[in-house]
Chains A and B, each alone.
Chain A
């Protein structure tokens, strides 16, 4: 398995002209689990969205860098960051009615692992060509088989495949769908934004098993969280404490436990 590195150096981000992240640095390798913990308003969401490239988050690109294996990400649109291997599991993913889960997964997979750069025009002119499966990484049959396999592992009914993305999904179903996408799209690095909120114990188990499977496949995972609940199920290799836009402490899994018992009082 090839080892990749996601390297965040001195990331500075502001929102509406207000500085939120004031130079965040962290590095993560394939197969590692990192937790970024912090109280409300510490800049966790800003970190998450800025990494994925949301346009409302203004990055000071003259100082900081974000790179996967030395390929710089900060000047790329979100879709190209995804193509470099970055994935974001949203805290409250938005519903997209009428766009089915299977359409999303098929389209995204082929964008990420398409076998050729055939022009969109051709595809539009010829619906047969457009619908032809375009990936050499997996055949369509393998893809479908894998999708069913992971859905089963997450205890998701296959009827979800034909529903609109997150349309009418419960809190737990939304989180599972985010994990399902991560499993199918096999990113080099995945960021999980408050993945444990609103989950009952069963769903939490399924979600954390999903993350562990992902780690075994080599994905580096960053769990961004307020509480350490998820960390009882998914043991982090490194814990970073984010307070007021800066990493103020780092340590192993025991740091998460310390915060669980003592809160963030020591840092603020």
Chain B
């Protein structure tokens, strides 16, 4: 069926492979489908009940009335669970050729050669490939797909699953809680530093297929881990839904960095709930890049619940034609001396729309908190649009809150300057855009920074030519 899809050659990563499935649920969602997912996965009873309860909440919850337009999502026209192969491959060689081929195209073997700590790649709804290096095991670090995590560490999962983002949180968190599949489970024992980033790649490969991965990261006291997630998706003929939930627990003095580059194809609704609970002196850093999708609504959050906890959110959004990136961040200061920083950079082009939506809340009793919010928007033409919706709810007196917002147009004078040096207009434009997002790109692991710059360049040069 992928062969029938029209190939949009402006989307350079738009390739898809023949589908090969063992099990595919029927389209649409009801209790049977939810129970069936749980049955197929041989889950414990509590998880089945959790899913069914979440499904009830999903049905009751209204669609969000704010943010991007979600009116075109057809919940009945989506496959909620697809199981691609029976067994997960243990090594690269065991992967089916077409899956391997897909990963070859997005460069995973190369990435692995660069001393990655482990690769966990999600194909369809299930993680099929995983290699965990011996070092991780010897440190006691657990890096599994969520399904295996539930099987192998049932107590840990039951203790933390859904505690940071309960199904009641929002309609899409409820949906994910009902039908989740895949994602990662990471556990870092006390005091352990995972020096190399843990990486997960995934992509959607079936038309009309929803992707509902669920990630849970637990960083014990004094530990450190950097988790990296990147995705590129093929082209589809009808709308697709990606609705993930990421829960992170940062214990006392621990530090977690979570990096995402999202480049879904232009028909995907990308509605993700990401939240970290940060305990005393813990640090949570979200680095979030949103390039693709039709609509993205994503606001990585930090709940600072322990004294001196710190949260940082760096977010880049790029919106081209027919795209709306509604992104930002949320920092809740629930303890004294906590600090947060939200830096958001957005670029709109060819009529694309970006919105910064952010919340900083300081709870009563949380004294001497600090927060800084910077949002810069760059508009590349007259048709494009950018809005800012900052929300500050400050219930304490002794706080230091800074907020800066700028909207700029790509400068004629900057373009002229570079052109006067012999640099053609399209290239000059992409240099300026890359310069604009540089403060965030420099925080990315090298191969992601390279990919980010390349993607921006593709977007720029594709339309200027």
Contacts and interface: CB of A to CB of B under 8 A. Distances in A.
Contacts of B458: 124
Interface string B418-442: 1111111101100110111111000
A133 B58 CA distance: 56
A30 to B, nearest CB: 19
Contact of A97 (B424, B435, B454): B435
Contacts of B414: 94, 96
A185 B421 contact: yes
B416 interface: yes
Contacts of B420: 52-53, 78-79, 81-82, 87-88
A62 to B, nearest CB: 24
A99 B438 CA distance: 8
Contact of A127 (B418, B425, B450): B450
Interface residues of B, number: 30
Interface in A158-217: 164-165, 181, 185
Contacts of B411: 94
B301 to A, nearest CB: 27
Contacts, number: 88
Interface stretch (A6-14, A18-26, A34-42, A106-114): A106-114
B419 A78 contact: yes
A252 interface: no
Interface string A116-159: 00001000110100000000000000000000000000000000
Contacts of A107: 421, 423, 427, 431
A111 B438 contact: no
Nearest to B453: A127
Contacts of A124: 454, 457-458, 461
Interface in B54-70: none
A99 B422 contact: no
Interface string B399-420: 0000000000001111011111
A131 B37 CA distance: 48
Q: Is the interface of B mostly helix, strand, loop or mixed?
A: helix
Interface string B145-175: 0000000000000000000000000000000
A234 to B, nearest CB: 22
Q: Is the interface of A mostly helix, strand, loop or mixed?
A: helix
Contacts of A164: 435
Contacts of A127: 450, 454
A45 interface: no
A169 to B, nearest CB: 13
A75 to B, nearest CB: 15
Contacts of B435: 96-99, 164
Nearest to A110: B422
B172 to A, nearest CB: 34
B431 A112 contact: no
B464 to A, nearest CB: 10
A82 B419 CA distance: 8
Contacts of A108: 418, 421-423
Contacts of A111: 421-424, 427
A78 B416 CA distance: 7
Contact of B434 (A90, A98, A185): A98
B434 A94 contact: no
Interface size bracket, A side: 20 to 34
Give the most central of A52, A93, A94: most B CB within 10 Å.
A94
A104 B424 CA distance: 12
A83 interface: yes
A104 B428 CA distance: 10
B422 A98 contact: no
B442 to A, nearest CB: 9
B422 A96 contact: no
Nearest to A88: B420
A3 interface: no
A54 interface: yes
A94 B413 contact: yes
A103 interface: yes
Given A103-B431, A124-B458, A97 B421 contact: no
A83 B414 CA distance: 18
Contacts of A83: 422
A97 B435 CA distance: 6
A263 interface: no
Contacts of B427: 107, 111, 120
Contacts of B424: 77, 79, 111
A98 B436 contact: yes
Contact of B422 (A82, A90, A103): A82
A68 to B, nearest CB: 14
Given A77-B424, A82-B419, 6 more contacts: A94-B411, A96-B414, A111-B421, A111-B424, A124-B457, A164-B435
Interface of A: 52-55, 77-79, 81-83, 87-88, 90, 93-94, 96-99, 103-104, 107-108, 111-112, 120, 124-125, 127, 164-165, 181, 185
25 contacts: A52-B416, A53-B419, A79-B419, A82-B420, A87-B420, A93-B417, A94-B414, A94-B417, A97-B435, A98-B436, A98-B437, A98-B438, A99-B418, A99-B431, A99-B434, A104-B431, A107-B423, A108-B421, A111-B421, A112-B422, A124-B461, A127-B454, A165-B417, A185-B421, A185-B422
* A-B pairs, 7 with minimum CB distance: A98-B435, A98-B438, A82-B422, A99-B435, A78-B419, A108-B421, A111-B422
